Amino acid sequence: MKPIHQFRTLATAIALALTFASTGVQAVDAPTPQAEMEKQKVVFQVSASDPKIWNLALNNAKNVQQEIGAKNAEVEIVVYGPGIGMLKFDSAVASRIDEAVGDGVKVVACENTMKAQKLSRDDMLASAGYVPAGVVELMKKQKEGYAYIRP
């Protein structure tokens, strides 16, 4: 083989090696197990007195769990203001709240709203959780990387 052909062959081989080394490995990297295990986090705001909105929030929470798997999701519903009726013991969606909590959804009532409406924990569903301030809970969750949804 002539020296010029040897040089071209070597140059081509080096160029191909550099191309594969810089891009080929990156293009076929599989996701790391840690990335696959990272939970998706979402917080829903319910501040409306309309039971249609309550049902929509519960449907959304259930859909998230069904789509990505309950074990892969952290789902919270924060209820405050006019929406507080959603968590009263006589709520139109009481059985759905209990079901959602049983499925791992955290459903919390704003204690500021409860105080303003003169409600006690005895007035609320046993499955409800509590936070001092609903709006502050939403702020904290967003800071922690939760997706924010207001149905």
pLDDT band at 31; cut points 50, 70, 90: very low
Computed over its alpha carbons, how large is the radius of gyration of the chain? 26
Higher-confidence residue of 12 and 134: namely 134
Tell me the pLDDT tens digit for each residue of 67-113.
999 999 999 999 999 999 999 999 999 999 999 999 999 999 999 99
Q: Can you identify the CATH homologous superfamily of domain 33-149?
A: DsrEFH-like (3.40.1260.10)
Q: Indicate if the pLDDT at residue 16 is higher than 70.
A: no
Looking at residue 38, its pLDDT comes to 86
Q: Global pTM? A: 0.76
Domains of the chain, by residue range, sit at 1-30, 33-149
Q: Indicate the DSSP class of residue 39.
A: P
DSSP-assigned beta bridge partners for residue 149: 44
Judged by phi (left if over 0) then psi (alpha if -120 to 50, else beta), residue 81 lies in left
* Distance from chain centroid for Cα 111: 23
How many CA atoms does the CB half-sphere of 118 hold within 13 Å?
Answer: 0
Tell which wins on pLDDT, 4 or 137: 137
**What is the phi/psi pair of residue 71, to 5°?**
-75, -15
What backbone torsions phi and psi does residue 121 show, to the nearest 5 degrees? -65, -25
User: What mean pLDDT value characterizes the chain?
Assistant: 87
Residues paired with 88 in a beta bridge: 124
Distance CA 73, CA 66 (A): 10
Q: Identify the H or E element spanning 74.
A: strand 73-79
Give strand pairing partners of 108: 78, 129
Q: Is the pLDDT of residue 9 over 70?
A: no
